Every structure is written in C-alpha cells, then in structure tokens.
Amino acid sequence: MSTKLLIGPFTQVLPMSGLPLKGALKDEALAVVENGGVLISEGQVLKVDTFTNLLPDADKVQQVEKDAVCLPGFVDAHTHICFGGSRARDYALRNSGKTYLEIARSGGGIWDTVLNTRRATEDTLARGIVLRAEKHLQLGVTTLEVKSGYGLSVEEELKMLSAIKRAHLETAQDLVPTCLAAHIPPKDFKGSPDLYLQEMSQTLFPQLRAEKLTQRIDAFVEEGAFSPKEIESYLNTASQMGFDITVHADQFSTGGSAIAVKYKAVSADHLEASTAKEIELLARSHTIATALPGASIGLGSDFAPARKLLDAGACLAIASDHNPGSAPMGHLLAQASILGTFQKLSNAEVLAGITFRAAAALKLDDRGVLEPGKKADLVIFPTGNYQEITYQQGQLHPCGVWKNGLKVV
C-alpha cells in the first residue's frame, strides 16, 4: 500500500486550480488555502486542504516549521540551453549601438553559436544542459523545454537532440525536447533556404521519429531566418507527420503569428512586434501566446504586448528564452515579474503564465496546478505572503522544490 505523505503546514498554498486557460485574471480569482497542506502519494497530488483537515489521512508528515508559501512547480516553455560557446561579444556590441541583425550579418549572432555548438561533443553539450537545468531547478523550474537549432545539419541537429535526451536522464526536471532545425538558413549549405528546409523535413524528420527524439517542431519566421512563404511546406510536412508545431513569431516583424495560427501551432513565441491584428488573431485561436521577456531585457527592446493579449482573450504563457545570445539571464521568475511591472499584469496572470498556462504551451495537462491526479511538483518560498514572490522580482529564492513527490532542492 502506498504511503500518503502530508507536507505542511504552509502559511499559504496557491493550487492555481479552477482558473480559465484564456483571458485576463484578477488576483481575487486566486484560491489561497491558509494554513494549508498538500497530501501526495506515488508522485501525485491526492488533495490540497487545510493542514488540520488532511492530518487524519496522512501516513507520514513532512513538517514545515516556518512561514512558507507553496505553489505548483514552474514550467519554462521556451529555452535554448543546449549550446556551445558564449556571446558576450554580441552583448557588448549591442550595448554599443549595433542591432541584433547587424551583429548577425557581421558573423556574430546565431551563426557564431552554431559554429561553437558544432565543435562541441555530445558529452560536452549534455553536461552543459545539466548544469544550466540545475540552475533553473534551484529557482523553482520543474519542467523545462529545450530546443535544438544550433546544429543546422541533419547530423548536428541529431547530436543536439541526443544530448538533450541524455541530459533528461541526468536531471531532476522533465526536459521537453524541441527540434528547431529551421532556426536560420546555414551559411555553409549549398542551396536555397527552400532546399535546406526540404532536406531537413525529408531526411531529419523521419530520423526524429525513428529515434524518438522529439514530438515538437519549431521554426523561426523572421527577417534573416525564414519567410512565411518559405516555411509553409516545412510546417505542412511536420503537421502531416503528426508533430506538434510551435513558431518563433513576430519578434522583429509580423507574419509569424499568422503562420502559427494557420498551422494550428501549440504556441506562438516572442510577439514583441505584434500589432492589434496579430493580437486579435491569436485571441480568436487556440494557439498560446508565449511572451519572452528575457529577450526584451537582453536586447533592450519592447516587451510583448501581454496586457493587450490577455484583454483580447488570449492565453498568455511566459518563458525565459534562455539562450547564449539574446536572453542570457535565464531567470524565469525575475523576468516574469519584470514583465508584470511593465505590462501591468496581476499576480494571478504572472503566476498562471509560468504554471498551468505554460504547461498548456507544451501540451502537458498533468502539471501546473495542485489538484488530485496531477504531478506533485511543488515550489516553496520562505514567506508568509505570496505577493512577496513577484514583489521581490526573483530575489526571493525557493527554500524547497519537489519533483514527482520527491524533494530535489
């Protein structure tokens, strides 16, 4: 018979349950269980209630002695933490006045990381992922999406996705792999962007299926990457083969979000350049709008119009975009809190964006809320008031993290 473990009492438990997937949220809608506890068994939540009410059902108690707030483990639905090298030079050039596209054209940018990633062994890449994932875990992230996209050849993309698969077995988190072979046209490919995409879809996609390396295909639709016209055949093939689609959309110019909606993408990520037209399009679709405030901070650019997206009725997820170039910070909670300040988001909207709405952006319905049958992924903060978590803008660190019912931090 399985053991029923009760963790608590927490000053507050925010289960994040009973909230809509789409649209604006008021803080008054948040369920807050005072003097609460979480009863878990076999890696799943059995019940959330007051600690006193749960005590009779518990076989074992993990006592919490000080003020603490318990939330579902955070979900970071967009990262690029599989890479080689550094882009500190790019950062300095941007701060000196060069634009992202100017740096890319001069040999920096994504291509610089591609060359360094190709030089790295699979072992080296896997170790790097594990180290970066551990930093995210310490900050409360229990599910982490990781993209390829710095290989840009069949062999190198397979190397990256194999490294991600290996790292998943060596980390406490769940790592969700995504193939971003359509990141930019590789400079050493002898042929047009169309021919490159054709090679990737006809040669790489079947190997992804055969080796069970990913269920997700991503594409960067942007100037300097792939145009809406160029990417359509690629995404059509991905869709026909049963892959889930996500799109880097509207970062510097529009067009990507329309492609995302057309191909029923799970999410459209970035959206800094989205106008009223794109906002309305996303709000009327089932495609989740994912804001990446880390890229805005790293590039010194505008934030995605999160407030307008929510008010229009869209589902807003928030992710770190942790990558070596435009978003090196990799601190999901800090970025989400800062986005909330600039876009006037409620605590409910920020926390939803990094829990159950972010889980939905990965098509994971078994986490992001603390309710019966969901994963017992918990993040615990040393405070008696949940409002302190966003107020301190990432400076309040978790004092405990649980993954599948096991304490990992």
> Residue 105 — pLDDT band, cuts 50, 70, 90?
confident
**Do 36 and 98 reside in the same domain of the chain?**
no
| CA-to-CA separations, 170 to 130, 167, 401, in angstroms, rounded | 7, 5, 17
In this predicted structure, what is the pLDDT of residue 147?
98
Residues above pLDDT 90, as percent of the chain:
96
Token digits for 299? Answer: 């590039």
**Do 65 and 79 reside in the same domain of the chain?**
no
**Do 66 and 207 reside in the same domain of the chain?**
no
- b/e 380-397 (16+ beta carbons within 10 angstroms → b): bbebeebeebbeebbebe
pLDDT in tens, 326-349: 999 999 999 999 999 999 999 999
Beta strands in 51-184 (DSSP E): 60-63, 69-72, 74-76, 141-147, 174-182
Tell me the CATH number at 273: 3.20.20.140
- Residue 27 CA to residue 232 CA, distance in Å, equals 40
In this predicted structure, what is the pLDDT of residue 100?
75
**Do 101 and 249 reside in the same domain of the chain?**
yes
**Do 376 and 355 reside in the same domain of the chain?**
no
**Do 279 and 394 reside in the same domain of the chain?**
no
pLDDT in tens, 263-307: 999 999 999 999 999 999 999 999 999 999 999 999 999 999 999
Cross-strand pairs, 6: 39, 61
pLDDT in tens, 183-212: 999 999 999 999 999 999 999 999 999 999
- Residue 240 CA to residue 76 CA, distance in Å, equals 27
The half-sphere exposure of 185 on its side-chain side, counting CA atoms within 13 A, is: 20
Q: Is the peptide bond before 9 cis (omega within 30 degrees of 0)?
A: yes
**Do 82 and 103 reside in the same domain of the chain?**
yes
pLDDT exceeds 90 at position 99: no
Mean of per-residue pLDDT scores for the chain = 97
> How many structural domains does the chain have?
2
Q: Are strands 5-13 and 69-72 parallel, antiparallel or unpaired?
A: parallel
pLDDT in tens, 158-183: 999 999 999 999 999 999 999 999 99
Average pLDDT over residues 11-34: 98
> Residue 107 — pLDDT band, cuts 50, 70, 90?
confident
**Do 216 and 306 reside in the same domain of the chain?**
yes
CB 176 within 8 A of CB 216: yes
**Do 356 and 373 reside in the same domain of the chain?**
no
In this predicted structure, what is the pLDDT of residue 102?
87
Domain that holds residue 397: 5-72+369-407
pTM for the predicted model, two decimal places? 0.97
In this predicted structure, what is the pLDDT of residue 367?
98
Amino acid at 258: A
pLDDT exceeds 80 at position 7: yes
Token digits for 73? Answer: 């483990």
**Do 152 and 252 reside in the same domain of the chain?**
yes
**Do 79 and 68 reside in the same domain of the chain?**
no
pLDDT exceeds 90 at position 132: yes
Cross-strand pairs, 162: none
Tell me the CATH number at 11: 2.30.40.10
pLDDT exceeds 80 at position 112: yes
- Residue 49 CA to residue 55 CA, distance in Å, equals 10
Token digits for 121? Answer: 């062994």
pLDDT exceeds 90 at position 108: no
CB 174 within 8 A of CB 168: yes
Token digits for 111? Answer: 């291509």
Average pLDDT over residues 60-74: 97
pLDDT exceeds 90 at position 224: no
In this predicted structure, what is the pLDDT of residue 236?
98
**Do 154 and 183 reside in the same domain of the chain?**
yes
In this predicted structure, what is the pLDDT of residue 217?
98
Task: Name the nearest CA neighbour of 317 among 273, 363, 274.
Answer: 363
Helix axes of 154-170 and 122-138: crossing angle, nearest 10 degrees: 50
CB 269 within 8 A of CB 248: yes
- Residue 248 CA to residue 260 CA, distance in Å, equals 9
In this predicted structure, what is the pLDDT of residue 1?
73
